[in-house]
Amino acid sequence: KGLLEFKNVTFSYPQEDITLNKFNLKIEPNKKIAIVGKSGSGKSTLFNLITRIFDPNEGKILLDNFDIKDLNEESLRQNISIIRQEPFIFNRSIIDNFKLINKSITLEEIRKYAKMAYLDDYIMSLPNNYNTILGEGGVNLSGGQKQRLSIARTLAKKSKIILFDEATSALDNESQEFIKKAINELVKDHTVVIIAHRLSTIIDADIIHVVDKGKIVASGKHKELLKTSKIYKNLYEQESLNS
């Protein structure tokens, strides 16, 4: 189903102070969920724990009520994908970029996912369409296009849980709009969590969690948080000033 739950999770990196302190959070599928907070507040650490790059010192992380420590690593890796600011693109054809993730995928399926990620029109405008070689010696995608490809590949991988880590922070407004639309599609049958640097991408989220010093200090929708959370209001005002 894709229900993720942090239960009293305490975590510190080796030889470091506590990063997460009795952290509790329930993340439901089919909703647009965002996590915001100052740099260093522990947001990316949440993803490091969900993907088991590190394990909590105390507490548990549950996926559909199973402790993720008891789940098969392969299935965990299959079902959870992270989309980062600089996605890795293979220096191969667009088709190969999908086949390396899903061997038996057909061109029809690839196009379906590329459409969902708002990338098909662009690919069809290239002389070699889906046979176009990417990267060195081929076509260089823009940052936004790379992310859309990364979203399409994640769809091809059929991961239930899709995590975005400040993925849109470096994008221009037009690319951001495309990514926003793609995310709104994904939300329909995935668990989607977005760590957002630019609040404009998550203003319409179903729920926004504000993290500070390793704890959730406020949760709600954009308009509520502007009234109830000073930290959120500050983050928002700082961003408005910067733009």
Q: Which residues bind ligand ADP (CB under 6 A)?
A: 13, 16, 19, 37, 39-45
Measured distance CA(65)–CA(4) in Å, rounded: 8
Four-CA torsion 21, 24, 29, 35, nearest 10 degrees: -50
Residue with tokens 């069809």: 124
- If residue 230 lies in a helix (H) or strand (E), which one and from where to where? helix 230-242
87 binds, among Mg ion, ligand ADP, none (CB under 5 to 8 A by kind): none
Q: How far is the CB of 143 from ligand ADP (least distance, A)?
A: 19
Instruction: Write out the binding residues for Mg ion, residues 95-124 only, by CB under 5 A.
Output: none
Query: Which partner from the list Mg ion, ligand ADP, none does 176 bind, CB cut-off 5 to 8 Å by kind?
Result: none
Bridge partners, 83 (sequence order) = 164
Q: Of the two residues 43 and 157, which places its CB atom closer to ligand ADP in the complex?
A: 43
Smaller CB separation from Mg ion, 40 or 69: 40
- In the complex, the smallest distance separating the C-beta of residue 57 from ligand ADP, rounded to whole angstroms, is 13
Q: Rounded to the nearest whole angstrom, what is the least distance from the CB of residue 45 to ligand ADP in the complex? A: 3
Q: Is 185 exposed, middle or buried (0-12, 13-18, 19+ CB in 10 A)?
A: middle
| Torsional sign, CA 139, 143, 147, 150 | positive
Nearer to Mg ion among residue 43 and residue 190 (C-beta): 43
CA atoms within 13 A on the CB side of 86: 0
Contact status: 168 vs Mg ion (CB under 5 A): no
Q: What is the DSSP string of 72-87?
A: -HHHHHHHEEEE-SS-
Choose the contact partner of 243 out of Mg ion, ligand ADP, none; CB within 5 to 8 A by kind: none
As measured in angstroms, the least distance from the Cβ of 169 to ligand ADP is 11
Tokens for 225?
A: 């948080």
Please give the residues from 31 up to 60 whose contact with Mg ion meets the rule CB under 5 A.
43-44
Task: Please choose which of ligand ADP, Mg ion, none residue 66 contacts, taking the beta carbon within 5 to 8 angstroms, the exact cut-off set by kind.
Answer: none
Cα–Cα dist 65/150, whole Å: 29
Which residues form the interface with Mg ion (CB under 5 A)? 43-44
